[in-house]
A = this chain, B = another copy of it.
């Protein structure tokens, strides 16, 4: 089994987790969780989103949260925004490590819901984002294809549609003389399977032969870790993940099937460790962070290794 030797994992839990919970978790608790994640060796942590405080009151105090964190050198503390207003709010907080990220959608319906515009208008708008970022001196190195596998509104997304989006992204690169170093395929609502991951990573690589391909996988239907393995086997060395599997919605019932978290960070680190792949993350320390997340949220979370423990505590057989 030929796999990349070094895997980079970015943490999404603090944002993905608390944005679906009731508002009211203290800044001290959330800053403490971010600090514990940095302590464990996560190189990049998405702390919060700068979105409409009326629509998402959980994230209204994002600036205060960023300011409360005792930052660790070498760790990037990032934020998310969906429009110019959000970006300007983020720019006003010097503690935010600004990243110029572009977002493309294969699904029109999903894009309209998430961004209020068609997928094509969103793709056009990314041109303006390149300029907006340039004006602020924020380098654009990274792009996501959301709903890269399927979407609950449009169903399975054919490869041809993904190809169109990738081709458009490649044109944008040429038009604006930028270089996307990292191209992520996002399985936003759990439509990927190991075979489609394998095929679509290959496809993305054909359009971006010099970029690192990243995966953002939600474990909506139990295939998250198998999809991650398929990604590793296709040479992917860049993953988003969520501590303790934060971001799921255990009490939402069958109707909100889409609402499941990212693949679990410590389970992914465990799997990498066991296969001899280096992540730079201290698993024991990360498990403590996951347990902290569980204490803060106040109910059992989905992560497995955080409950079972790693294999470190057990004897090494001498024979």
Contact = CB atoms under 8 A, between A and B. Distances in A.
Secondary structure at the A interface, as helix, strand, loop or mixed, is loop
A230 B1 contact: yes
A61 to B, nearest CB: 31
A219 B228 CA distance: 16
B222 A304 contact: yes
Contacts of A158: 317, 319
A86 interface: no
Copies of chain A in the complex: 2
A30 B219 CA distance: 29
Given A194-B1, A223-B274, A155 B317 contact: yes
Interface stretch (A7-15, A35-43, A114-122, A306-314): A306-314
A222 B225 contact: yes
A153 B311 CA distance: 11
Interface in A105-158: 150, 152-158
B254 A223 contact: no
Contact of A230 (B195, B196, B229): B229
Interface size classification for chain A: 35 or more
Given A155-B315, A193-B275, A267 B223 contact: yes
Given A155-B315, A257-B309, A260-B308, 7 more contacts: A150-B314, A152-B314, A156-B314, A161-B317, A221-B267, A221-B271, A223-B267
24 contacts: A1-B195, A3-B195, A150-B314, A152-B314, A153-B315, A155-B314, A156-B311, A156-B314, A156-B316, A157-B317, A158-B317, A194-B275, A220-B308, A221-B311, A222-B225, A222-B304, A222-B305, A226-B226, A226-B228, A226-B271, A229-B230, A254-B291, A257-B307, A260-B304
